[in-house]
Chains A and B, each alone.
Chain A
Amino acid sequence: GQNIDQPTEMTATEGAIVQINCTYQTSGFNGLFWYQQHAGEAPTFLSYNVLDGLEEKGRFSSFLSRSKGYSYLLLKELQMKDSASYLCAVIGNYGQNFVFGPGTRLSVLP
């Protein structure tokens, strides 16, 4: 089975940096994804990690440690439009079981 955990809610200030953590326990692992979802909309892809280390993409970075079953999404220079839910998802063996964590609702305050 798969168990994925994230903080439920986070609050940060515009212009600041925020780190959203994700821990997972899975029977197989073929990569971890981060998605952003605004209320009432479909998720949009942010990042993908399959090897240990940091992947940087503009204001967003994602880190993975497979030995620790841990990932984080780092958002820099926060903007109001970054207020959304952030979902980590783990894909199991052979591309099956693409399971999402509970999501973290981020509120960016002025």
Chain B
Amino acid sequence: GAVVSQHPSRVICKSGTSVKIECRSLDFQATTMFWYRQFPKQSLMLMATSNEGSKATYEQGVEKDKFLINHASLTLSTLTVTSAHPEDSSFYICSAMQRSQNSPLHFGNGTRLTVT
């Protein structure tokens, strides 16, 4: 089955530093990748939609200059949290969609970010 690899699974960083999270589709080409954030006991909140070769589309309230998304190839998207603050501590999950429009999303295992 389709596999999405997300790295790192856990990261602890100091306030003010930047953290990069990678999301790779291992056995399929992902024309679209989605980035979600999830706080404890809450649902997944869509942050941005990333299409290969074009700029990401950010949801309302998500700062594009703070959460930099790059989707340079059909198998890799990255999310960089710049100048991280403690309130950015959360569970970040990426997902990828195959070329077939109505195929289910395949999720990475998530990244637990803790900003101290």
Contacts and interface: CB of A to CB of B under 8 A. Distances in A.
B54 interface: no
Interface residues of A, number: 26
Contacts of A31: 102
Contacts of A33: 104-105
Contacts, number: 58
B48 to A, nearest CB: 11
Pick from A94, A100, A105 the residue with the most CB of B within 10 Å. Answer: A100
B43 A97 contact: no
Interface stretch (B14-22, B82-90, B93-101): B93-101
Nearest to A34: B104
A100 B104 contact: no
A48 B102 contact: yes
Interface residues on B, range: 20 to 34
B43 A50 contact: no
B46 interface: yes
Nearest to A42: B107
B101 A30 contact: yes
A88 B1 CA distance: 21
5 A-B pairs with least C-beta separation: A42-B107, A103-B43, A95-B101, A45-B104, A100-B44
29 contacts: A30-B101, A30-B102, A41-B110, A42-B93, A42-B108, A42-B110, A43-B107, A45-B104, A45-B105, A48-B104, A50-B102, A87-B43, A87-B44, A89-B105, A94-B101, A95-B32, A95-B102, A96-B32, A96-B49, A98-B49, A98-B95, A100-B36, A100-B43, A100-B44, A100-B46, A101-B43, A102-B43, A103-B42, A103-B43
Interface of B: 31-32, 34, 36, 41-46, 49, 57, 91, 93, 95, 97, 101-102, 104-110, 112
